Amino acid sequence: NAGVTQTPKFQVLKTGQSMTLQCAQDMNHNSMYWYRQDPGMGLRLIYYSASEGTTDKGEVPNGYNVSRLNKREFSLRLESAAPSQTSVYFCASIGYSYNEQFFGPGTRLTVL
């Protein structure tokens, strides 16, 4: 089935630990995105990738890095997790001119 997969679904980290959130899509879309969702703040763009091999900062990139491994995969890495990074993270894959949009189920991350 077409869609966006994210792993893991839940994760608890201690302050200073690192981890990578994985995202993959099978719609052959060029554009992929990472958002974080916090209560009362909507979805805020962390990084996006308009095409394979390119990445750009969004609204809240500090503390994160990304890799567009290939057209299918777009990973988000936290090098040294902080409690302020406790959030729900969504990956999205969007087709040309927004004609198709798929959001992953989210990763709920808690940093203690």
Partner 1 sequence: AQSVTQPDIHITVSEGASLELRCNYSYGATPYLFWYVQSPGQGLQLLLKYFSGDTLVQGIKGFEAEFKRSQSSFNLRKPSVHWSDAAEYFCAVGDGGGNKLTFGTGTQLKVEL
Contacts with partner 1, residue ranges (CB under 8 A): 31, 33, 35, 40-45, 48, 50, 56, 58-59, 90, 92, 94, 96-98, 101, 103-106
Instruction: Compare residues 12 and 15 and give the one whose CB is closer to partner 1.
Output: 12
The one-letter amino acid code at 26 reads: D
Least distance from C-beta 36 to partner 1, angstroms? 11
Whether a cis peptide bond, with omega within 30° of 0, leads into 8 is yes
Place of tokens 């890095």: 65
Contact call for residues 91 and 75 (beta carbons, < 8 A): no
Distance separating alpha carbons of residues 61 and 76, to the nearest angstrom: 10
Q: Kindly list the distances between the CA atom of residue 81 and the CA atoms of 27, 30, 70, 106, in Å, as whole numbers in the listed order.
A: 31, 29, 25, 18
Least distance from C-beta 88 to partner 1, angstroms? 9
Least distance from C-beta 16 to partner 1, angstroms? 29
Instruction: Compare residues 62 and 97 and give the one whose CB is closer to partner 1.
Output: 97
Instruction: Compare residues 63 and 105 and give the one whose CB is closer to partner 1.
Output: 105
